[in-house]
Amino acid sequence: MPSLLASPDPAPQASAPAQRSAVSAAVTPTERIGQVIATSADSITTKASDGQIITFRITPQTAQILESGAQFAVNDVIVVQATEQNGTQVATTIADRDLVGQDGPPMDYDLPVT
């Protein structure tokens, strides 16, 4: 019967935690409420009430919840759900806070399960 304490090849054991760590660090879900201070085709930057500024990357998969035909603009107050991927905040959902307030639809449906 093989010993559980000894391994003929320690390399797989040493690399396994690093692989798990990289996977768990690759996607970290967050939710943020802030005022829009800048927008572009592929990003939106918000400033929270605590003064923290974060830029979120927008992808074709980013869901946007706002009035029909509208676009997010400077001074809008928004709710952003995002995942941190390799040090970059990537928006999964961006919503006008007035549309998803206390009685609005849930926004966490698209976040990855960890």
Task: Quick: pLDDT tens for 36-80.
Answer: 999 999 999 999 999 999 999 999 999 998 888 889 999 999 999
pTM: 0.66
Task: Quick: pLDDT tens for 71-85.
Answer: 999 999 999 999 998
Domain assignment present for residue 78? The answer is yes
Q: Which of left, alpha, beta for 105 (phi over 0: left; psi -120 to 50: alpha)?
A: beta
Instruction: Report the alpha-carbon distance of residue 37 to residue 39 in Å, rounded.
Output: 7
Domain assignment present for residue 17? The answer is no
Domain assignment present for residue 15? The answer is no
Question: What is the domain range of residue 101?
Answer: 28-110
Please give the single-letter amino acid code of residue 114. T
CATH of the domain at 36: 2.40.50.320
The angle at the Cα of 95, spanning 101 to 61, to the nearest 5 degrees, equals 145
Domain assignment present for residue 8? The answer is no
Domain assignment present for residue 96? The answer is yes
Q: How many domains does the chain have?
A: 1
